[in-house]
Amino acid sequence: MIGITSYGAYVPRLRLSRAAAAQANAWANPGLLAQARGERSMANWDEDSLTMAVEAARDALAGRSTDGIGAIYFGSSTHPFADRQNAGLVAAALDLPESIGSCDLSGAQKAGTAALIAALDRVAAGGAGEALVVVGEHRRARPGSAQELQYGDAAAAFTIGGSAVIAEFLGGHSVSVDFVDHYRGTGQEFDYIWEERWLRDEAFQKWVPAAVNAALEKLGIDPGAIDHFVLAEPVAKLSALVAKRCGIAETVIADSLLGVVGHAGAAHAPLMLASVLQKAQPGQTIVVVGFGQGCDVLAFRTTATLGELPTRSGVAGSLKRRKEERNYPKFLSFNETVSLEKGLRGEANPQTALSAMYRNRRMLFGLVGGSCTKCGTAQFPPADICVNPSCHHQGPMQPYRFADEAAQIKTWSADWLTYTPDPPAHYGMVEFQRGGRFVADITDWDLGKVEVGQPVRMVFRVRGRDAQRGMVRYFWKAAPLAGAGEN
Amino acid sequence: MSSGIRDKVAILGMGCSRFGERWDMGAEELMVESFTEALGDAGIDRKQIQAAWLGSCMDEVNVGKSALPASIALRLNNIPVTRVENYCATGTEAFRGAVYAVASGACDIALAIGVEKLKDTGYGGLPGLDGGSLPPLWWPNLSAPGVFAQVASAYMSRYKVPRDVLKRALAEISAKSHANGAKNPKAHLRNPVSCDTIMASPMIAEPLGLFDCCGVSDGSAAAIVTTPEIAKSLGKHPDQMVTVKALQLALSNGSEGGYNDWDGSYIHTTRVAAQRAYAEAGIKKPRDEISMFEVHDCFSITELVTMEDLALSSDGGAIKDVMDGFYSADGKIPCQIDGGLKCFGHPIGASGIRMVYEMYLQLLGRAGERQLKNPRYGLTHNLGGFPHQNVVGISIVGRYQ
């Protein structure tokens, strides 16, 4: 039996109020007010598809070994790099062994389901004992557009394997149709979009239901026996059209999450699947449809093992970790769709030393320091000579990963002088309970709520962007743990 | 066992440029300004200088790399000139080079000159710190107020000091330096400022406001040193001679920043350097024996904890001493009598030497309006870097006899 063995999800903490955004642009387009309901997820300035994918993967991998993972697939239409493997960087952030296969899937909104299929195929072919699938999307839209309200940022992750399966893969069916409801040319900032009526009438009333029907027939699944129908509809109510034409009950249509997350592009169908898995009972049938110039239809049946899976944050946990944002200009600035004054200090932009980055990749991306083989002191960064003043033992240290270690803020400040896209810059001495400390950026803070002794969780984030050279620099930051300032 | 530096080196002459936003001058002219005063004070010809040390910190502006700018601007006689840089403790480092050279007997007369031309950046505060290839890949974009503000958070936490109590003491510290600076014709900021104004100033890095931060200044300071014997032969009367009693440097080795021991509420290296300096100078009870001192008050919080790190105030006791006026101009041990970094200004490479300059003037009774009565020992404390990894230079100077 091959199928899903674990899942995780991540939705950024910030949620843009659609009303706030619509009201800001209603002077030019009053029609936006019709969509001024609910909220959409909003990546912090230091989040992108890759950092969100890392968080989702950490959720999926929490408390379990990563030893069997032989491949990683990263599906997204908004990978930060066009030519530098994004999946490999995710693997490095997870400190997976380097002896794994890795692949980015992109180019359409169905890149998410394509990543799932690639992983399922690889495991089925014996190419990996287990494969990790991550999907993430950071969707930018033109200011004042309807898409700005409709899109969302999110990520999901799954492990695919042959033992301890929680959802058995029953099979799939794919069609490829050059149906262009929207597109984004290479080098273009934003999507170019055709009217919704075209999408609704020509795709969701014709070839999408045909593909779903073909899949159900091929797999011998009775539409009435489906417990969860997952279709990442680009706009509301399209799933119902498909369900109706396929004989699937309206009651089994999975929560689209559009009202609280928005549409997370290639990550959206997997995100909905992760959400369904968090609620599903053993023995249920799930049909997932990924849409985008064709569609992928995948069917799963949950197993008894699903009930034994340790609890995780998942979509529900991510949605609970929420902070409303009503500052529309801040949303624009975080998405770099407006260029706010940075000040002269914001001009500093050193080149990234790729060789130094490579030498220190486990430190920088895996947050791996050292543990002294003599006194056991955990320390960061790793060094040849132990930092403990009463030890100073010289010799190779045991690699020691800090990413999941409990930590707290030892000292801090909120700095209005230094450059950051989100002033004031918060940083401070972060101390790990089991040893080790370093001065780290603090992210996802609430102004006036940061304090000495506050527990934090280390998160993989964008440290800085070098727009001149197209480099995104990543490192780990400390995020205050849920509680302070959250609704 | 080393015998230390005590009384082996005398200051033959000193000079200090006016500090401030010297839009009219570059680093070269600033060096000439302090050097000319020092040379005149020493009463020697430039050809008698046998070696020199240039302290300059910020490559990004200022003079650039190497010691050539000093050798060229001062038309030195093809002598060895060495550039030193050790963050904001650079000035003391240059002084140490010259003092050690004389003490070793390698040369008779040596020059230490520090200079910084900061106001060529186009913005307030120090230039950003982007050094090295690896640090920019993982360090936060630290600013100087942001890192020193960390000490405030730890101090409040350790001693359970409410924020408003700390803010008030910090304001007293800055107000005192403004009062002192107003009396110093060479100081950058010469305006008395009230505690209310200080506390209401715009926030720079929580909890430090604008008036908790020192001036960002252009300036230069110079010292010419020799042995007491040579000084005597050059006509300096032993009664009118200032000698170096102690000169110590302590650098972090990574433990504050990497080992879970230090609590962030003090500067570890200041404590180490201070104890070494007291031992070298033969000082047993600093609170009774030190007459005056200039500390590295880059920020008001730095000055506060330095009182404790120098063992002048007890741990957690600096706020009370500050509020009692213990360190004011008319207090028991006046601190920053020249205005300090806060108001004299902080041209990085010059600051360590500027501190010695004030102690020198005071010891010789040449401090004018701010002259203290019969000072015996003056201490300077120069701190570079960050609270969790830094360079501390301490000197103690006093009358030879």
Enumerate the domain spans of chain A: 3-334, 344-367+402-480
Partner-chain contact A415 B130, CB within 8 Å = no
- What's the CATH fold of domain B142-214+245-399? Peroxisomal Thiolase; Chain A, domain 1 (3.40.47)
Sheet holding A285-291, edge to edge: A101-105, A69-75, A130-137, A154-161, A3-10, A167-176, A294-302, A285-291, A228-231
Just give the CATH number of A344-367+402-480: 2.40.50.840
- Cβ atoms of B112 and B55 within 8 Å: the answer is yes
Task: Please name every residue paired with A298 in a beta bridge, in sequence order, or none if there are none.
Answer: A172, A288
A92 shares contact with chain B (CB less than 8 Å): no
Pairing between β-strand B110-116 and β-strand B51-55 as defined by DSSP bridges: parallel
What's the start-to-end Cα distance of chain B, in Å? 25
Distance from CA of B159 to the nearest CA of A (A): 13
Please report which helix (H) or strand (E) contains residue B30, including its range.
Answer: helix B27-42
* Chain B CB contacts of A379 below 8 Å: 258-259
Task: Name the residue facing A415 among B121, B139, B145 (closest C-beta).
Answer: B145
- Cβ atoms of B329 and B171 within 8 Å: the answer is no
What single-letter DSSP state applies at residue A458? Answer: E
A412 shares contact with chain B (CB less than 8 Å): yes
Pairing between β-strand A294-302 and β-strand A167-176 as defined by DSSP bridges: antiparallel
* Chain B CB contacts of A415 below 8 Å: 142-143, 145-146, 149, 204-206
Burial B255-280 (b: 16+ CB within 10 A, else e): bbbbbbebbbbbbbbbbbbbbbbbeb
Could you say which of 3.40.190.10, 2.40.50.140, 3.40.47.10, 3.40.630.10 is the CATH number of the domain covering B10-121+218-240?
Answer: 3.40.47.10
* Chain A CB contacts of B146 below 8 Å: 413, 415, 417-418, 425, 427
- Pinpoint the residues of chain B covered by CATH 3.40.47.10: 10-121+218-240, 142-214+245-399
Measured between alpha carbons, how far is B366 from A427 in angstroms, rounded to an integer? 45
CA distances from A192 to A79, A142, B243 (A): 19, 10, 78
A427 shares contact with chain B (CB less than 8 Å): yes
Of B178, B268, B296, B346, catalytic: B346
- The single residue listed with the structure tokens 């949303």 is A331
Task: Name the residue facing B140 among A348, A363, A441 (closest C-beta).
Answer: A441
A36 phi and psi angles, rounded to 5 deg: -80, 50
**What share of residues in chain B are helix, strand, coil (percent, to 5)?**
40, 20, 40
Instruction: Judge residue A478's burial from the number of C-beta atoms within 10 Å of its C-beta, 0-12 exposed, 13-18 middle, 19 or more buried.
Output: buried
- In sign, the C-alpha dihedral spanning B359, B361, B362, B367 is negative
Measured between alpha carbons, how far is B93 from B355 in angstroms, rounded to an integer? 13
Which pLDDT tens digits describe chain A residue by residue (487 residues)? Answer: 999 999 999 999 999 999 999 999 999 999 999 999 999 999 999 999 999 999 999 999 998 999 999 999 999 999 999 999 999 999 999 999 999 999 999 999 999 999 999 999 999 999 999 999 999 999 999 999 999 999 999 999 999 999 999 999 999 999 999 999 999 999 999 999 999 999 999 999 999 999 999 999 999 999 999 999 999 999 899 999 999 999 999 999 999 999 999 999 999 999 999 999 999 999 999 999 999 999 999 999 999 999 999 999 999 999 999 999 999 999 999 999 999 999 888 888 888 999 999 999 999 999 999 999 999 999 999 999 999 999 999 999 999 999 999 999 999 999 999 999 999 999 999 999 999 999 999 999 999 999 999 999 999 999 999 999 999 999 999 999 965 444 3
- Cβ atoms of A416 and B205 within 8 Å: the answer is yes
Encode pLDDT of B158-217 as tens digits: 999 999 999 999 999 999 999 999 999 999 999 999 999 999 999 999 999 999 999 899
* Chain B CB contacts of A350 below 8 Å: 130, 136
Q: Which two tokens stand for residue B254?
A: 């990574």
Instruction: Locate the chain B residue with the closest alpha carbon to A349.
Output: B130
Does the annotation count B88 as an active-site position? yes
Runs of H (alpha helix) within A237-344: 238-246, 268-279, 314-320, 328-334
B257 shares contact with chain A (CB less than 8 Å): yes
Does the annotation count B237 as an active-site position? no
Domain A3-334 matches domain A344-367+402-480 at the CATH topology level: no
Asked if the A3-334 domain carries CATH number 3.40.47.10, the reply is yes
- The single residue listed with the structure tokens 């109510």 is A237
Helix (H, G, I), strand (E, B) or coil at A137: strand
